[in-house]
Structure 1
């Protein structure tokens, strides 16, 4: 049942598109290739266990945590999922 201007299945299409975008973004951030033995930012040694667990790792745990925090802070607002975006 459609309500307002939305067609049948519009909500599910919006959900699917948001999930697809998140998957593409996550896959684009995956490292490939050999892991480094030392962090590319602080030059600290990267333990062998981390290199085996995370293929293509280039950062130590501390630097990776900082980068993850910064990416989370600047990840932006998902307007596609906002009810306000449907009203404009």
Structure 2
């Protein structure tokens, strides 16, 4: 059960990278994805597309962090989620 906590954190932290894609791998193998879209937009100086890609990656990272905290609170009874934020 203790090792499940580490696996859960690693899983949720790797999800944004899996969804956004690996930029280098997409570029080398010519696979269409968000990474190659972002590189093409940078080359063409299409800053709206670059901002949208960065926004999507950022939102996915924040959502995965929140989900990771919630799941860790369910897995580990020592971690309690408090609404007030106090030591109660």
Structures share fold, TM-score greater than 0.5: no
The higher relative CO (CA closer than 8 Å, separation ≥ 6) is in: 2
> TM-score by structure 1 length?
0.42
Please tell me whether Structure 1 or Structure 2 has the larger radius of gyration of its CA atoms: 1
Bigger helix share: 2
